């Protein structure tokens, strides 16, 4: 059986102690660290930007998986790459030119991810599959941690797999927990993002191990 990649979101971490939280995630078995960047415009919340990612990079060597929930993300790709991002995911709904933005991410030496909100048709993805390393299927409305998982996600994962084929990783983000993780694996997910399920667990290592399946 293929191994699930677990990318815990630091949105649920103690953001004033982020370096130690990153180390705690690494020591608990996290494969990647998911960084939720929000601009108060594309989503109604504000988190952190490039300087914080740059400082996280000093604490851990595991891949930093940067999820940009910002308008016109093309403005900041090279800066996030310079800060130490390994994967950069932009929203289809936020880009001025999706193809050019995905190319720019790769030209900066990062893996290119594209994300879709729950109501966005997956049919738009087909035209970009050649310039994609990862497709992020949002399973909540982006903006906040701790929301309820949307059940439509299983169907969307199966549909996404048919569209992008086997070479593109499928990531799920929002409301992922120990109960839905096995069902997401079965529906074809390669990468699970989890914030509250990891940080609210009494035993972080155990939570990550169980998410891996
Ligand atoms: C939501 C973010 C998610 C969120 C996940 O906009 O993209 O990464 O932090 O948090 P949980 O797992 O608590 O839903
Ligand atoms: Zn995210």
Residue 52 tokens read as 């914080």
Q: Which residues line ligand 1 (CB under 6 A)?
A: 9, 11-12, 34, 36, 67, 140, 142-143, 145-147, 173-176, 193-197
Q: What is the mean pLDDT of residues 33-48?
A: 98
pLDDT at 1 > cutoff 80: no
Which residues, other chains included, contact 150 with Cβ-Cβ below 8 Å and sequence gap of 6+? Answer: 118, 139, 140, 174, 175
Ligand closest to the CA atom of residue 142: 1
Measured in Å, residue 116 CA sits from the centre of ligand 2 at: 11
Name the DSSP class of 147.
P
Pocket test for ligand 1, best of 147, 175, 178, 181 (most atoms within 8 A of CB): 147
Q: Is 26 helix (H, G, I), strand (E, B) or coil?
A: helix
Rounded distance between C-alpha atoms, residue 142 and residue 110, angstroms: 23
Name the DSSP class of 1.
-
Residue 197 Cα: closest atom of ligand 1: 12
Residue 143 Cα: closest atom of ligand 1: 6
| Residues forming the active site | 36, 173
Q: What is the mean pLDDT of residues 65-82?
A: 98
Say what percent of the chain tops pLDDT 90: 99
Measured in Å, residue 75 CA sits from the centre of ligand 2 at: 19
Measured in Å, residue 202 CA sits from the centre of ligand 2 at: 22
pTM: 0.98
Polymer length of the chain? 213
Residue 5 tokens read as 């990649």
Q: What is the mean pLDDT of residues 151-169?
A: 98
Q: What is the mean pLDDT of residues 180-209?
A: 98
- Residue 2 has a pLDDT of 77
pLDDT at 13 > cutoff 90: yes
Q: What is the mean pLDDT of residues 52-62?
A: 98
């Amino acid at each position: 059986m293929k191994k699930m990649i677990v990318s815990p979101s630091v949105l649920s971490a103690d953001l004033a102690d982020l370096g130690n939280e990153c180390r705690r995630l690494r020591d608990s078995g996290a494969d990647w660290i998911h960084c939720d960047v929000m601009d108060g415009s594309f989503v109604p919340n504000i988190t952190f930007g490039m300087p914080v990612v740059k400082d996280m990079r000093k604490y851990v060597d595991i891949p930093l998986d940067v999820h940009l929930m910002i308008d016109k993300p093309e403005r900041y790709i090279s800066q996030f790459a310079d800060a130490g991002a390994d994967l950069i995911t932009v929203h289809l709904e936020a880009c001025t030119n999706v193809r050019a933005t995905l190319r720019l991410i790769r030209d900066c030496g990062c893996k290119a991810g594209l994300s879709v909100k729950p109501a966005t048709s997956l049919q738009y993805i087909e035209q970009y599959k050649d310039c994609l390393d990862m497709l992020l299927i949002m399973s909540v409305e982006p903006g906040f941690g701790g929301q309820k998982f949307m059940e439509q996600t299983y169907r969307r994962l199966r549909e996404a797999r048919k569209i992008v084929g086997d070479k593109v990783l499928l990531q799920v983000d929002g409301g992922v927990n120990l109960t839905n993780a096995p069902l997401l694996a079965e529906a074809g997910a390669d990468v699970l993002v989890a914030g509250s399920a990891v940080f609210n667990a009494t035993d972080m290592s155990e939570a990550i191990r169980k998410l891996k399946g």
